[in-house]
Amino acid sequence: MEIKEAIQKAKQNNQSAFNFLLDTYWNDVYGYLLKRTKNENDAEDITIQAFSRGFDKIDSFNEKYEFKTWLITIAKNIHIDDIRKRKTSIAQKTTKEDEERVYSIIDESPSPEDKIITDQNLAQLLRDIKKLKPHYQKVINLRYFQELSYQEISKELDEPMNNIKVKLLRAKKLLANIIQKK
């Protein structure tokens, strides 16, 4: 079957002509949309819509033009409409209040310089902690680096909670003295 013959038969609502046109031009329209959308699912959905719309309006097809070009134009217009709908739906969902809230959020993430300073300070702090007696090092490690509660530390070290609190207080005072001596 030739293209012109298939178009004539499709205008007469011949199902095999529609199948022939679909098989003939599917890859062209789908490939075009895949390049535009960069998404297989979107490209397939729009290609289906383009063929559906093209077949519904096949009576308006002007045979002076290429059928492939006509289908791709339909597909392009559907894609543009889809993009517009997405943009307007996003714009409608955000209010002026939402925008102000977003702009008022302070970026508290540390800058690269802050990270370097923190890393250097942490390294120094770890060296200072190593100057403490081992049982004080252990309590500080469990509390501040492993973030265990007093009760969890008590179980871990098999000591009463009051002892843990006192050891931690004593370890912090000794550490503060080491840091102040510098």
Q: For residue range 52-107, what is the model confidence (pLDDT) as tens digits?
A: 999 999 999 988 889 999 999 999 999 999 998 887 766 666 667 766 776 676 66
pLDDT of residue 144: 85
Residue 34 tokens read as 């895949």
Residue 152, domain member (yes or no): yes
Question: Do residue 116 and residue 69 come from a single domain?
Answer: no
| pTM exceeds 0.75 for this model | no
Burial of residue 79, with CB atoms counted within 10 A of its CB: 0-12 exposed, 13-18 middle, 19 or more buried: buried
Token pair 């033009």 is found at 65
Give yes or no: residues 77 and 119 share one domain.
Answer: no
pLDDT at 165 exceeding the cut of 70: yes
| Boundary of a domain, candidates 66, 93, 120 | 93
Residue 106 lies in a domain: no
Q: CA–CA separation, 89 vs 82, rounded Å?
A: 11
- Residue pair 1/20 in contact by the 8 Å Cβ criterion: yes
Q: 41-45, 71-75, 86-90, 113-117: which has the minimum mean pLDDT?
A: 113-117
Q: What's the chain's Rg over C-alpha atoms? A: 35
- 126: phi then psi, degrees, rounded to nearest 5: -65, -40
Q: Which domain holds residue 42?
A: 3-93
In the chain, how many domains are there? 2
